[in-house]
Structure formats: structure tokens, C-alpha cells
């Protein structure tokens, strides 16, 4: 509800926490914070194989206009993740060759777009990782004022300026900046637990036994049959 | 309509029939069985360049819950294809790192999901081919009982346990297990015919001539004009 | 409104104009012609990393029938781009192994489909670049007459026979054949301008300053604050 | 995998069972058969306020061709529900004025289309209830043979000839013909139970208390707080 | 490719041709012009039960900006149909209370939007029929110049200024203005033919017999069986 | 990031502010708060013709599980609007006959669902207005704990408990509870202004003149031509 404005400063969690969360990956971080903060699958990686994490600088634009992306770059610091949204659904390419060069020059770690991106060849070339809702060569006007560093919704998830944005091939998850250290600890604990289980699974043990899911099946009344015929004969 | 249950055994066509169908590829197999059994294009390959074929082990889950995937792995045999569905639309990642390791350990040939998959990096690493409706880091509950090895609908197509599932970059097609040998024969015949035509097309001959489509055009009243002007002048 | 027909000849802009437009790329060409003629993002590249441009040969088919694609190949010349559409929405694979071989043999530069494509592995193998709305192993009937080289709508954009079709990883844009030389000149001017700006951006200068967007922000009443608290305190 | 054919006879459960299931409604029948057999929400009612149930006569067509709908009408009997599908995704109007008149004349109780319908004004006029994936004025060819009364998938659900199809404003559910009487009994039991609960809910009692969900919340570790501040203070 | 402009005059077919086409309805007109010119099903009626036909005044806007709708109203005459499009996908409400009042005052017969509409309650109140891709309360900027009365693509169909736009509950179809009289004649012929068939269908005769489709089935090799068992026994 | 919990109390703006905002309608309220807070068009009215406004009670569920809707009803007060969301995309019917009766009994003013609703006939009968993403007869489990009265994202918009939710046929808009009085004042001012303009538009005056858009067209370089031919002749 603020009038159009640019907020210059955002909270930034320690850089080592961000890089450690990037290593944990989106799926683990998401589980570690009680399955919250995940963007919808529609936001997908355009440069497969990359993992980033950094504090969010947010740009809230009007559909068809990317004026505030230009304004947002000024307040980005190295390691930040630029989160670009529009007030109404839009697939136009709000980031292209020149803005990508500029983002790279300012040390932006990655870009998340609830809208479209373009100049894919260049993004590959300069290795700037981008997650977007669409690829579109359509450029935009630069005429209507919006907001930089206000809370936004991207991929169905609330992102506040300074929240850590973790992104990899599985998608994008948002970590509240106040909770970054706690979430990292929980993610590490989870990873450790998974690592102890993985060799057992690789050796052929079943998750049914390791995690005790047999009891859940039993409690739920799941019966076992040797054949479909047997099951049908037994059906009430 | 069966109560929640696990059927332990499924019919399995001979392994050499399955591997021969994999070689034929989805497009040819689909034509060979009168264009039936193809899953919708929404089910797409997450590891391009792979071809698999094996008997289906099916898991029917509730939206947001993958308990029955754990149960299904117990009854999988090497070479099986695991087909994972939910009773209502769901994009959650029902297969992730641990289940993928377990599937690999048990020799599962590939996984088809009418829902989402996650931990893409690991899937690449362990080279477990997956076809899915979505990529999502979202994990699921393991609380609500469902079914293993009952007939399911995946990608708009009925899959019965033991039916052969053929999957490659073109999509996924299902072959009734009773008909596997016949379909293989028909596919081979079709391939042979195509192979005889291909050199002629590569030499510049036209399908119009090779297949007799000129007569179809003529019978349908298609006229030829040298220019748009000529056509307009001739229009009734 | 013409009855089903094949128009044999189309206007073809000079080949060097086409190849020069391919080099400029879709995003630049789109801007150079006042942001017109871009296909919707749903038409995406199936062979990433390719750039083509050539005059359009159009085939307008009935849903589920690709008879006119066969007829269209006869009137294609080396360097042409084949644009395949259907009168109503359809995802069937209207181009497959044999038609792809035939297209390659006739020198077709690329294929754009408002419908589906199949035999992806072969398309890769013979390096025939394809942009399509869907991938589907479903083949089609060859029974119902349609049109070759009439104006069509593909990806939400009108394509007239002979119009230049430029396609790369960013999508597909259509250039009116009468305007090809003018658009090329405008694209080159634009590229030159961007090239002069790029080093300045790479050196850390801001687009806000280079393009004078600060004045737009000011005129739009955008205020700057050091913190969210400060902004809230100032809100009317 | 059968070659194109028409099966003339289907099993038909007793008419009073069908009409009783129609009264129970889709939501109740779906629950009564363990939440199975529901079509996807994309299949929606075009004539709100109607409820039907009858045995399915199925027509499996090629995309863009409704030849087999014509063939299916011949084997329909009064009270049947006509289920129209296509082998690949299609939105063309496969039922229109003339077929609707014909269906009405033959006593068809309702029509379910995995494709499109047209002539909505007439459907209203003659009060023939239709559930469809799309509304489209596009007509179709009548050239390519398909199947009548083979099992099909409609709205993501398998429908076998003779299965009862129940449809109302909530959607469409399929009941296996062998189980129709059992499902009706289960639906009635469920309705009775709901009817006993409804007055209590209308009087202000909570489902938490009536169904014992408080224990589920407690077992799941859900805590109660008087305010958000209190909750945050308590967060681990 | 024209620079932003307003073309003041358009061709207008005779008003009685337009009103006669409205009576024929979308489905019949579409068939009468060889199944061409139909908009996609995504463009749907927001005021069911209305039929309109009039010459198109077109407005081509930027996403998120409806400036040219204001300019278009000035050149509308009573009976015209206003066709509103955007260069890239957009769901914003480009027509709302005030523009609707203005359109009504100027005698606009109906509005077709490839984008969104809003103020539905008022549209009902003043009985201005609208067909749109979306309903959205989102308003737009009025800042970026576009085009009035240039050819546009709406609902996947090319619309030239002055072309007749026929719209009813089945959708929207476009008739080339030069062909309006011919199409009307063809539509009337078709209607007459259908009217002669309808009583026969209502009396229970089959389209199989009236239209000779039995021969098509026979030619396509469709076999008839009394039961599924019989068909399976006969399968090759 | 809070563990699963129920927050009992929410801020509630004065009831007369809520009812006054309902009268203003969604489109006006959205404009009045600088075009912010609008849900996506996918959330649509299931009972056309209704307008509601009340403070949000939020329920955040797991996909396929509506346990927290039961918990939320206990903390609802007359006039509240229940906002039901799921952590990942889901179309299951999370509100049905019994919950609707219960909501009605507790005085809930309306229900907004980012998921599905069912028992439409009953909703009509008891006149409980509902806005939802889908209609689905699918019921859900009641097994997995979630949250009541934490901030959620619904229809792409953040909703905090106690924020006013305004809903009508144009969609749903969210007003921050702290700003409700200010937004109401701005909406009233806007309505007054529109009411003064409406008679002028109804009398045939143009928005071009009333709002000064002619200058915007002129500044943007829009030229006027009497015909398309004249425009083409003038094109650079």
C-alpha cells in the first residue's frame, strides 16, 4: 500500500549461511523448514545444473513494464538474488541482454522471475543463472512507477526483501532472513540423517522397514494378496 | 473399488520382448498398436536421451501422500517400471533422493509419475530415467493408505499391472501384457517398411508419390495454383 | 475462405537478408519492428542453441490430420521454413521421422509447429531445428484436405506465405516479406546501439543513468527511502 | 487393441439403481466407493442444476473426427449416458444440434465429452444435460474409423461400457457396473450418517467435536495460542 | 509494422447482412465458410444467451495498458463490434464500468477481448454483451501508444478492421467483409438443409442412414459384434 | 515457519467499514489501494451476483487434507471470511456439505479457496457465497496438522489474518486491516469521481476528451489516417 518507492537497504544474513544453504539444496531446505516457502513448479530453471542462495532484492512492476528492474539493480550488492514480479500475470521478458550484463557486473548471484526472461543465449554465455515462469523475446515499456524492496509474491510464495532465496534444478525456496541460521542447522541435521540411511537403501533395505512404514500400512488396514484374483475374492 | 491393498505378483512378459520394444521406440510402438495407449504429452522425460521398457508396477496414492510408493518398491523386480499416480491432481514430488536410491538398488528400469519428481541432480547422477508431469521439491506425507498393483490411469491412459511401459524422448506408451509379442511383431514390420522408404525420401522423392497421397488430395478436391492471385480469381 | 488448395509459389526475400536476420536474433528483430510479430512463448525450441531464418511455406491442416504437410514439402525450396498449423487446437505429432528426413532432403531450414512434433531423437540426429507447441508420439490421419500457402495463425501471430520466420532459443518472430530489408536495417542499428552500451554496463554503470530512467522515476513520483520503517513513517 | 469395431450390447445395471445413485449425487457416491472413479474437474457441467445417472455407451474417436459418435447412437437405449472421447487431446465440438436432437430422440439421459460440445442454445432448449471439457463451435470430419463400446479414459478416469456414470454440478463419477448395488448401499449409509450430523452442525456444534478431530490435532502436535505474538515467543 | 496510429474508417458490410448472420449463429457460420475463422474456446461469453454480429473495430494495446481502447471508441459507429487485443499475453481488465458506459452510449453492439474484462455486474445491468479470455478487476495504465484499426490476432484468429464478428454462446467467428454476403447465403443453405433433417432425427432416424455414414464405417473396416467376448475372439 | 498451530484471535476492522467496502466492489477497492492486493483471475465466483467483505480467518493445509479447515471454524466469528489454502497446488474439494452448514451456522460471510469446493447445489441452497480455484467432488483426508491464522498466499496474493477480503463477480481483493479506513475513503472518492463522469460518457462524450488522453496519444506520436492505404503510403 506504500506509494511507488525504492527502499535502499535490506537485511542480509551472513554470506556463509547463504552459501551453506545453497549446498543443502532446495528439497532439503524446504523439508527443514516444515515444508514452507516453496515456489510453485511453474518457476523453473533456465540454466540446468546451477545452485544459488542469496538475500532477495525485490522489484514489483506493472504488467508489460520493467522500469523498476532498472531501479532495483542500483541497490543490489554482490551475492544478492534479484526477484522480479508483476502485479498481474505477464509473460513478457523483463530481463534481457543489457540488464543481464548489468546484473552480472554488479555481482548478482541469480535472478528469479514470476514473469518471462529473454536472451537465453547470452544468459548461458555469461553464466548468469535464471529461474523464470516463461521464456519470451517480448521486451517491455519503461514508463510506469512501481516498487523496489517491498514484500512481493513470486511463484505463489511471499518474499520479503532480505529473505534468502535458494534455487536449484528442483525449484526455488524462500527462507525468512531471521530464521536462516536455524533453518541451516535443521537442514544439516536432516542431511546427516539421510546420509546414514542412503547406504542401507543402496544395499537393498526397504524404506518400509527403515522408517517403520509397515506399521502405518497395517494401521491403515492395507491387506496383502498374492494376486488380483485373491484380492477380488476377499473384497467385502 | 478394492479396499487399500498390495497385490504382490503381476504378469511379466518375457524380458527380451521388453528390450526389443524399447529399441523400437514409443512412436513406432504406438502406431503398431493402432495408435492406442499413448500417455498425454504432459508426461515428459526429465533425463533426455533414454529409452526403457518394462512391466508396470503401479502405486495409487492420495494427493500429497506417497506412502504407497514405499510399499510398491518391495514388490518391484529388476527391469520393472514403477508407475506412480494420485487419485486427484497433484504436483508434489513423490519420488526423491532416498526413494530413487532404493529404486536403483532394486533394479527398477525407470519411473513414470502422473505427479511430480524431485532431486533431479541425483536422478542424473545415478542415471535413473524418470518421466513426470512436474518437477517439485515438495515432499509428501506418508499417512494415508492406498493401492499397489491395481489398474491406474496415468497421463490419461489406463495402465494395468504387468502391462509393458515403453518410454523415450517422445513420451510414454502402454502395451497390454497379453499383446506384447504381437505388438512387437507389428512394430518390427512397420520399422522395416519405414526403413525401405527412408532412403527414397533422403534422395528427394516425395511422400505424396511414395504413399499415393496425390490421389487423396485429388479425391478431396484440392486444386493447385501458381499464385494466390490466381487462386482468388478462381474462388467460387 | 478459399476452397482447399495448394499455392505453388511464394515471394522470397533475398537469402542474404534472411541469414543476416538470423544472426540478429529474435529479441532484436522483434524490437526492431516495433514489438510486433512475436509468437507466444508456448512455441518453444526443441533443439536448443539453433538460429534460423527463412521464408514461410505454410500448411493449414485439420486437427488430427497432416495430409497437407505432405503436400507442402513439394513446394518447399532450400532455405524455406515450414510453418505447420491446425484449424483447431491439437497436440498430435504432425512431423515425424519420415517427414523430417524428407524436409532435410529438400533443404528445409527449420520447422515451426502450432501443434506437436515427434521422433525427437531423429531430429537431433539429422540436426533439423524444430520449434513446437508440444512433443507427442501421436501420429495422424492423412485423409482431410486443407491448404498450402494461405495465411495462417501460428503461436498467436499471423504468418503469410513468404514472410520471413526468425527462430532461436528466445522464440519465433515473423517479419513481413515486404519489410525484410527495412527491419534488418533497424535491427542492425539497434544492435550497434546496444553494443556501445554493453561495455558501460559491464563496467558497472547503471541503465538508470545511461538511458535517463531516473527522470521517469522522478516524474512518476517514486521516492527513495533508506529503510522500510522510514517509508512507512512517510506514507500518507 | 481391437481393430475398429462397434460392440452392440453392454451390461446395464437395474434402472432403479441408476436413478437412486443420481439422487445421491456425485460427491456422496465418490466417497462411498473409497474416493475412486472421479473425473478431473476439467470436465464441467454446461447445464447447471442437472443430475443424471445411466450406463455408459462409449465412443472412442480420432482427434478432429466424430464418426463414431454417429455409430454409437444406434446402440444407445433410453437412459444411457453417452461418453465421448478422443485418442489425443482435442477441443472440437463433437456433439452439436443434429446429434443432440438424435440423442434426445433416442432417450439418451446425458452426454459426457472429454472433448468439446457446441450448439449450447439448443442443448438448453431441448434440456439435454452435457458435461464437457470445452465449448467450441468447431465441427469435425466424419472419415476415420474408431471404436464404440470399448473401455475408454474420460477426464482421467477409466470408463467401461455399462459402468454407471453419475453426473451433477460437482462433476462426474464412474461406478463399476458389477458394484452398482453395493455402492448405492454405501452411499445411502453415508447420507444417513451425514443427515444425522447436519442438524448438530446447523445448531453450531463443531466438526472438531462431532468427529473427534481434536484428538488428531493433539496427536499431530498442534498448539493453540491467543495471539501471533504469543506463538512467535513460543517458537523453538 | 505501421508506427502507432489510428485509422478512422473501415469497410462496413450492409447492416442487414450482419443481423442475418447473427441469427444464423456461430456454429453454422463457421461451417458455412469451410470451418475457418473461429476463435479459440478460451474466448468465452460473459453474458450467456446473447447473439451479436457487426463490423470489427480493432484496438491493439501493450500488455497492461488500454490507451488505444479509449482511442478506438471515437471511431466506433452504432452496430460495430470492438475487438481488443494485446501484443503479449495479458489478463488485465481492459474494459470496465466507464468504458462500458461509453461503448453503450456509442451504440457498440458487443466487445470481444483477447484479454480481461471487469465490472461484470455493470455489464449485466446495461446489457452490453462481452466475450473475453478472462475476468479481472485489474485496471491498466494509459501510457503507451498502440494501434486502432490494424489487423490483429484475437483468440488465435486474424481479424481485419471491418470483418464481421459473429458471437454467441458457442464462441466467436470472423467473416471476411468481402465475403459476408456469400457466407450468409451458404449459411442459409446449410440451415435449410439441417432443418429438413431435424424432424427425421427427432422421429428416431439415425444420422448413419440419413448421411450415408454406414458406408464410411464399412469402407474403414469397422466390424460389428454382439459382445466384447465375440470381438476378442475375432481379433487378429 | 511456526510449528503447526492455531492462533485464536485476529484483528478485526469495524464491521461498518467492511460492509461499506463490500458496496464499493472489488474493482474500485483495487484501484483505491494503488492496484495492489488483487487475487489472480483463477479464483472465481461460484455463486454469481454476490458481494461480501470481512476479516480473513486463514487455514493453511497440506495438499489432499482439510484438517485445519475444521479447526479454523472454531475461531470464526460472524462476518468473517474463511480463506483456505494448501501448501502445494491442489484442486480437491476442501469445503463440502457439512463444513458449509457449519460455516453458515457460525455466521461466516463467505469462503475463498485456493483449492477446490464441492456440493455446489447445497452452497446455492444455503446461499453461502464461495470463490474457488476449482470445483471438485473429491474429498480429503483429515490427518496432517497445519496452521490456522498464519499469513498465507491465496490466488497469488498475501493474506494476513484480519485483513479485509472483498469479493464479488470481478474477483477477490485483500485490504490490509490497518489501512481499511483509508482505503474506504479513497474508494469513496474514486466512486464519486466516476459517478460525475458517467453521465457525460452516457451522453456520448469521449474519455479521450474527459481525461485528456488525446495529449498522451499526441505525445506518443500516434498519427491519424482516414484509411489504411493512406497510412501505408505514409509509413517510413
Distance of alpha carbon A57 from alpha carbon E57, whole angstroms = 43
Q: Are B175 and B163 in contact (CB under 8 A)?
A: yes
Are B151 and D157 an interchain contact pair (Cβ–Cβ within 8 Å)?
A: no
Percent of chain B with pLDDT over 70: 99
Q: Is the pLDDT of residue F236 over 80?
A: no
Q: How far is CA A1 from CA A198, C45, C220, E165, E226, in A?
A: 49, 40, 16, 41, 70
Chain D neighbors of C89, CB-CB under 8 A: 89-91
Separation of CA D183 from chain center: 15
F7 contact D CB<8A: yes
**What residue in B sits closest to D145 (Cα-Cα)?**
B34
Distance of alpha carbon C166 from alpha carbon B232, whole angstroms = 28
Q: Chains near D, with 3+ CB pairs < 8 A?
A: B, C, E, F
The shortest C-alpha distance from F77 to chain B (Å) reads 30
Interface test with E, best of F33, F168, F169 (most E CBs within 10 A): F169
Are A151 and F158 an interchain contact pair (Cβ–Cβ within 8 Å)?
A: yes
Tell me what ipTM this predicted complex has: 0.94
Are B27 and C116 an interchain contact pair (Cβ–Cβ within 8 Å)?
A: no
Name the residue among C102, C120, C150 with its Cβ closest to that of B201: C102
Cα-Cα-Cα-Cα dihedral sign, residues F84, F87, F89, F95: negative
Name the residue among C33, C41, C158 with its Cβ closest to that of E153: C158
Are C3 and E34 an interchain contact pair (Cβ–Cβ within 8 Å)?
A: yes
Distance of alpha carbon E80 from alpha carbon E57, whole angstroms = 7
Are A221 and B145 an interchain contact pair (Cβ–Cβ within 8 Å)?
A: yes
How confident is the model over A130-157, as a mean pLDDT? Answer: 96
Confidence band, pLDDT 50/70/90 cuts, at residue A235: confident
Q: How far is CA F72 from CA D158, D225, E93, in A?
A: 36, 13, 34
Chain C neighbors of D42, CB-CB under 8 A: none
Is D13 exposed, middle or buried, given 0-12, 13-18 or 19+ CB atoms closer than 10 A?
buried
F160 contact D CB<8A: no
F26 contact E CB<8A: yes
B197 contact F CB<8A: no
Q: Is the pLDDT of residue B2 over 90?
A: no
Are F232 and E4 an interchain contact pair (Cβ–Cβ within 8 Å)?
A: no
Q: Are C86 and C114 in contact (CB under 8 A)?
A: yes
The shortest C-alpha distance from B1 to chain D (Å) reads 6
Are F9 and D232 an interchain contact pair (Cβ–Cβ within 8 Å)?
A: no
Give the per-residue pLDDT at B236.
64
pLDDT tens profile B184-212: 999 999 999 999 999 999 999 999 999 99
Is D228 exposed, middle or buried, given 0-12, 13-18 or 19+ CB atoms closer than 10 A?
buried
Nearest CA to E151 out of C182, C157, C56 is that of C157
**What residue in A sits closest to C170 (Cα-Cα)?**
A137
Name the residue among D93, D101, D139 with its Cβ closest to that of E201: D101
Q: Which three cell numbers stand for residue D178?
A: 458389477
Strand E5-7 versus strand E147-148 pairing type:
parallel
Give the per-residue pLDDT at A236.
64
Instruction: Give the 3-state secondary structure of C99-116.
Output: HHHHHHHCCCCEEEEEEE
Are C64 and D90 an interchain contact pair (Cβ–Cβ within 8 Å)?
A: yes
C:82-111 residues touching chain D, CB 8 A cutoff: 86-92
F164 contact A CB<8A: no
Are C2 and B207 an interchain contact pair (Cβ–Cβ within 8 Å)?
A: no
pLDDT tens profile D3-32: 899 999 999 999 999 999 999 999 999 999
Secondary structure (DSSP) of D151-216? -EEETTEEE-TT-EEEEETTEEEEE-GGGHHHHHHHHHHHHHHHHHHHHHHHTT--HHHHTTHHHH
Cβ burial C167-206 (10 Å sphere, 16+ → b, else e):
bbbbbbbbbbbebbebbbebbbebbeebeebbebbeeeeb
F145 contact D CB<8A: yes
Are D142 and E213 an interchain contact pair (Cβ–Cβ within 8 Å)?
A: yes
Are A153 and F151 an interchain contact pair (Cβ–Cβ within 8 Å)?
A: no
Per-residue pLDDT of chain C (236 residues; tens, 9 = 90+): 688 999 999 999 999 999 999 999 999 999 999 999 999 999 999 999 999 999 999 999 999 999 999 999 999 999 999 999 999 999 999 999 999 999 999 999 999 999 999 999 999 999 999 999 999 999 999 999 999 999 999 999 999 999 999 999 999 999 999 999 999 999 999 999 999 999 999 999 999 999 999 999 999 999 999 998 999 888 76
Give the per-residue pLDDT at E118.
96
C135 contact D CB<8A: no
SS3 at position B121: helix
Q: Which three cell numbers stand for residue E30?
A: 463457421
The shortest C-alpha distance from D35 to chain B (Å) reads 8
- CA angle F92/D88/B2 to nearest 5° reads 45
Chain A neighbors of B99, CB-CB under 8 A: 207
Distance of alpha carbon B209 from alpha carbon B194, whole angstroms = 15
The mean predicted confidence, pLDDT, of chain F is 95
The radius of gyration computed from the CA coordinates of chain E, to the nearest angstrom, equals: 22
Name the residue among E44, E173, E236 with its Cβ closest to that of D135: E44
Give the per-residue pLDDT at E235.
73
F201 contact E CB<8A: yes
Q: Are D168 and F121 in contact (CB under 8 A)?
A: yes
pLDDT tens profile B97-120: 999 999 999 999 999 999 999 999
Residues of chain D with pLDDT under 50: none
Are E2 and F231 an interchain contact pair (Cβ–Cβ within 8 Å)?
A: yes
Phi then psi for residue A39, to 5 deg, are: -75, 160
A236 contact F CB<8A: no
Residues of chain E with pLDDT under 50: none
Chain F neighbors of E96, CB-CB under 8 A: 27
Give the per-residue pLDDT at D236.
65
Name the residue among E173, E204, E222 with its Cβ closest to that of D5: E222
Give the per-residue pLDDT at D232.
86
Distance of alpha carbon F111 from alpha carbon F129, whole angstroms = 7
Q: Which three cell numbers stand for residue C230?
A: 522510514
Give the per-residue pLDDT at D234.
84
The shortest C-alpha distance from C172 to chain D (Å) reads 24
The mean predicted confidence, pLDDT, of chain B is 95
DSSP C158: E
Are C153 and E156 an interchain contact pair (Cβ–Cβ within 8 Å)?
A: yes
The shortest C-alpha distance from B50 to chain C (Å) reads 10
Q: Are C34 and A138 in contact (CB under 8 A)?
A: no
F188 contact A CB<8A: no
The radius of gyration computed from the CA coordinates of chain F, to the nearest angstrom, equals: 22
Q: Is the pLDDT of residue F98 over 80?
A: yes
The shortest C-alpha distance from F202 to chain D (Å) reads 32
D48 contact E CB<8A: no
Distance of alpha carbon E142 from alpha carbon E62, whole angstroms = 10
Name the residue among D26, D206, D232 with its Cβ closest to that of F137: D26
**What residue in F sits closest to E67 (Cα-Cα)?**
F213
Half-sphere exposure in the Cβ direction for B87 (13 Å, CA): 35
Distance of alpha carbon D135 from alpha carbon D93, whole angstroms = 7
Amino acid at each position: 500500500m506504500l506509494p511507488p518507492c525504492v527502499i535502499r537497504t535490506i537485511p542480509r544474513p551472513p554470506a556463509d549461511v547463504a552459501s551453506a544453504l545453497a549446498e543443502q539444496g532446495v528439497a532439503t531446505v524446504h523439508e527443514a523448514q516444515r515444508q514452507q516457502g516453496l515456489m510453485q513448479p511453474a518457476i523453473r530453471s533456465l540454466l540446468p545444473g546451477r545452485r544459488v542462495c542469496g538475500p532477495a532484492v525485490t522489484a514489483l512492476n506493472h504488467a508489460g513494464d520493467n522500469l523498476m528492474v532498472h531501479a532495483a539493480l542500483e541497490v543490489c550488492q554482490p551475492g544478492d538474488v534479484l526477484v522480479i514480479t508483476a502485479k498481474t500475470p505477464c509473460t513478457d521478458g523483463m530481463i534481457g541482454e543489457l540488464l543481464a550484463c548489468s546484473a552480472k557486473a554488479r555481482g548478482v548471484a541469480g535472478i528469479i522471475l514470476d514473469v518471462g526472461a529473454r536472451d537465453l543465449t547470452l544468459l548461458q554465455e555469461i553464466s548468469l543463472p535464471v529461474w523464470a515462469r516463461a521464456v519470451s523475446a517480448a521486451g517491455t515499456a519503461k514508463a510506469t512507477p512501481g516498487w523496489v524492496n517491498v514484500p512481493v509474491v513470486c511463484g505463489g510464495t511471499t518474499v520479503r526483501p532480505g529473505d534468502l532465496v535458494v534455487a536449484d534444478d528442483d525449484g526455488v525456496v524462500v527462507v525468512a532472513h531471521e530464521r536462516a541460521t536455524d533453518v541451516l542447522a535443521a537442514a544439516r541435521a536432516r542431511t546427516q540423517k539421510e546420509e546414514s540411511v542412503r547406504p542401507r537403501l543402496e544395499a537393498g533395505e526397504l524404506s518400509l522397514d527403515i522408517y517403520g512404514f509397515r506399521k502405518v500400512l497395517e494401521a491403515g488396514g492395507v491387506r496383502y494378496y498374492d494376486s488380483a484374483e485373491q484380492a477380488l475374492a476377499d473384497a467385502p
